[in-house]
Structure 1
Amino acid sequence: MKNSQTQILIYGANGYTGKLIVDEAINCGFKPILAGRKKEAIANLAEVKGLPARGFSLDSVEQIATNLKDVAVVIHCAGPFSATAHSMMLACLKSGTHYTDITGEISVFELAQSLNQQAIDAGVVLCPGVGFDVIPTDCLASQLKQKMPDATHLALGFDSASGMSPGTAKTSVEGLGVGGKVRKNGQIIQVPLAYKTREIDFGNGKKNAVTIPWGDVSTAYHSTGIPNIEVYIPISPRGAKRMARLNWIRGLLGLSFVQKLMKNKIEKTTKGPNSEQRANAETFLWGEVKNSAGKVISATFKTANGYELTYLGAVEVAKFLINNQVNGGAFTPSKLMDNQLVERLPGTSSISFVER
C-alpha cells in the first residue's frame, strides 16, 4: 500500500460535491490530497483544511500519472466526466492507482468496462459511480436479480426533491443534445427524450414518470445480466409533453455554442442545495423485475439526499479499497463490494419487496 498520508486524492475538490467529500474524508480520519485544474482555488481550500494540494490539468496522461505515483485511490469529482474520465482512468492504469468517480454518465461506465482487461493486467480497480449515481439503484438491481434469477426486464427509478449542483446541471444539459437511452435485448439504444411514460409509486404515492438516460442503463446490466433496462423519474404529464417537444430541437441543443451558453448560465446561477435543504430532501427509490412468465417483483426504499449519499458512498468505497486487497478490473459498486452497500450508509431504510 502506498504512503498512508497520500492514500486518497480528491480531484475536483473545490467543486460543490468535491468539498462535501473532502469533509467526509477528514471526518473518517484521512488526510486526502486536494487536487484540481484551478490551482489557486485548490491551494486556498487546502490551506483552510490543512491538507496537501496539487494543481494539474487532465490534458496529459503522463502528467496526471506523475501526480498519482504516490496515490492509492482517486476520487474523481470533476465533470462532465464524458470529457475528463478517460485521461484520468488511463493515468490510474499507468500509476497503479485505483479509480473511482461520482458520474452517472452511461458513456463513462461503458468506457470503464472497455478497459477491463487493462485494469486486470495492471491490478487496478476502475469503479465509476460511487455516489448517488449509481450506488442505490445498482444495489437495488442486484437484490432484485437475486429475488428473480430468470428476470428478463428491469425498471428502476427515483424521486428526489433535491436541487442540482452545477456539475449535475451541466451533465443534464449535455444529455438534452444526446436524447434518451434504454437497454434492449442486451444493447444500449438511443431513444427520444421522454421515450416512455408510466405511473409509478416510488414509495410516496403514484406519480407520472418518464424514462431518462441514467447510468444504470449501463451498470445494472453489468451487475445483473438482465437484457432489458429502463430508468424513470417522476414528472407531470405536462412536463413530459414539454420534454418530448425538445426532441424537435435536439440537434440544436447539441451544438457546441448552445451547450456553452447553457453551461455558462448554470455556472452563474446554480449553487447546489445547502446543508438544511439536503437534510430535508430524502430520496425515494423504486425497482421492478419481470420474467417471461409475467411474474413481477417490485421494491421500494428511502435514502438520504443524493448529495449526502454521494459523499458518504465515495468515502466508503475509498475506505474499502484502502483496507482490502482487491483484484483489478472494471466494477460496479455492488460487484466491487456487495449489494447491501447502500443499506449500510446513514439515512437508508430497509428495502421492501412485493411479489405479484
Structure 2
Amino acid sequence: MNDQKNDKKIMIYGAYGYTGELIAREAVARGYRPVLAGRSAQKLQPLAEELGLPAMAISLDASETLERTLREMDVVIHCAGPFSATAEPMMRACIATGTHYQDITGEMQVYQRAHAMHEEAKAAGVVLCPGTGFDVIPTDCLASALHDAIPTATHLTLGFDSDSALSPGTAKTSIESLGIGGAVRRNSTIEIIGHGELTRSIDFGRGEKFAVAIPWGDVATAYYSTSIPNIEVYIPMSPRRAKQLKRLNALRWLLKFSWVQKWMKEKVDRSVSGPSAEKRATQKTWVWGEIRNDRRGERKIARVQTANGYDVTVYGSLAVMEFLLGYQGAGGYFTPSKLCGYKLVEQLPGSSAIKLGID
C-alpha cells in the first residue's frame, strides 16, 4: 500500500448509507484507509469490521467532539442526509478545524448556504465543495464547457436522461421538494414555479423526448460557475406523468407539513433500496446542455455520456478528494468545475469526452 495514502486522513461521514458505503469500498480498493463515521455505532460497526477500518460514532450536535476528531482529518466526504439539516454543522466544524469539505448533496439550499460561507472558508483556508457526485459534476462541467464556447451567454439549459433507480437518500430528497415546487433562474434570481409548469422536447443523446423542468442543483451551482442569468434544468418524463406532477401543485400546502413528509419518507425506508452493481453497470446516463446569447443569435449544444449516477457519485467524490489531498490553493466555496476544471467529468470511469456542437 502506498505510504503517501496512509499519511492522508480522510473521513467518510454517513458511511453506512447506500452511497457512503459504495464510496468507502472504492476508497479501500484504491489503497486508502478512511475513518468511517456517522451517528449510529451499531450501523457503522459491521462495515468497519468487514473493511478493517477505524470507525467513530459522532453526532453533528456534539460540536466539541466533532471538531476534536476533524482536527486530525485532511478531507471530509459528507454523505449523511438530509443535507438541509446536516451540511451546515459539518461545514462549520470543517472551517473551525481547517478541514476541506465535500458532500454528495443535490439540495439547492446547501449550495446557497455554502456560497454564503465563502468568505469564512476563504479566511480559514478551507475548501467547501458540496455536490461532488452526479449532483452536480456532469451538468456543472457541461455548463462550464458551454460557457467557454459562448462567454457572453444569456441563457443556459441543462438536462439528463437515465434509467437509473433512486437510492433511499435521493428519494427522500425528492420528497422534500414536493411541498415547494419547481425552480428556475430568471434574470439572476431563483424563482419558484409550479411542478410540471415548464416543458419542452429535448434530444439528450438517444432521440427526442418530452421533458419537464425540475428544481435541480444547477439552478444555483451553474450560476456560480458561469454567471449566466437564466438557467433551467430538465429530465425526460411521459406527458401523462407530467400531468400527474402538475396536479400536485394543488397539494403543495399539505406536502410541506413535517408529518406528511415523515410518513412519505418512512414509506421510502420500507420500499426503496439502491440499485445493485449489476443494475448500475447497465444504466448509463446522457447529459445535455444548450447555451444561447439571444441578443446575438448565438447557440451551441453539448453532450456527455457518463456511467450510472451512483457510480458517478463514487468516482466523482474520490476524484475531488484526491484533488483536495494535494491542493495548495485558496480556500472558499467552489463548484466542482471551478475547483477541478470542466474536464473533471471526462476523467471519470465510464464517461465520454464532452462533445460540443451547434445541433
User: TM bucket by the smaller chain?
Assistant: over 0.9
Choose which of 320, 323, 328 in structure 2 pairs with 1:320: 323
1:43 is aligned to 2:40: no
Q: Identity over the aligned pairs, expressed in percent?
A: 55
Tell me the number of residue pairs that the alignment of Structure 1 and Structure 2 aligns. Answer: 355
| Residue in structure 2 matched with residue 273 of structure 1 by the alignment | 275
Contact persistence 2:131–2:336 (CA under 8 A): yes
Separation (CA, whole Å) in 2 of partners of 1:126 and 1:195: 33
1:209 is aligned to 2:199: no
Separation (CA, whole Å) in 1 of partners of 2:253 and 2:62: 31
Q: Which amino acid aligns with 1:312?
A: Y
Separation (CA, whole Å) in 2 of partners of 1:3 and 1:351: 31
| Residue in structure 1 matched with residue 258 of structure 2 by the alignment | 256
Deviations 1:87-123, CA, capped at 9 Å, x for gaps: 0000000111000000111100010000000001000
Secondary structure in 2 aligned to 1:287? strand
Q: Which amino acid aligns with 1:181?
A: A
| Residue in structure 2 matched with residue 97 of structure 1 by the alignment | 99
Separation (CA, whole Å) in 2 of partners of 1:111 and 1:277: 34
Q: Which amino acid aligns with 1:293?
A: R
| Residue in structure 2 matched with residue 17 of structure 1 by the alignment | 19
1:348 is aligned to 2:340: no
With normalisation by structure 2, the TM-score equals 0.97
Contact persistence 2:8–2:325 (CA under 8 A): no
| Residue in structure 2 matched with residue 339 of structure 1 by the alignment | 342
Secondary structure in 2 aligned to 1:299? strand
| Residue in structure 1 matched with residue 300 of structure 2 by the alignment | 297
| Residue in structure 1 matched with residue 125 of structure 2 by the alignment | 123
Where structure 1 has 5 or more consecutive residues not aligned to the other structure, the ranges are: none
Separation (CA, whole Å) in 1 of partners of 2:64 and 2:161: 41
| Residue in structure 2 matched with residue 134 of structure 1 by the alignment | 136
| Residue in structure 2 matched with residue 109 of structure 1 by the alignment | 111
Separation (CA, whole Å) in 2 of partners of 1:128 and 1:33: 20
Matches within 5 A, 1:52-201: 52-201=54-203
Q: Which amino acid aligns with 2:355?
A: S
Q: Which amino acid aligns with 1:255?
A: F
Shift of 1:354: 1.9
Separation (CA, whole Å) in 1 of partners of 2:339 and 2:173: 25
Deviations 1:293-322, CA, capped at 9 Å, x for gaps: 222101112100000010001011101111
Secondary structure in 2 aligned to 1:136? helix
Separation (CA, whole Å) in 1 of partners of 2:63 and 2:120: 15
| Residue in structure 1 matched with residue 220 of structure 2 by the alignment | 218
Choose which of 306, 316, 325 in structure 1 pairs with 2:309: 306
Contact persistence 1:156–1:287 (CA under 8 A): yes
With normalisation by structure 1, the TM-score equals 0.98
Q: Which amino acid aligns with 1:135?
A: I
Pair 1:50–1:11, CA change in 2 (3 A): same
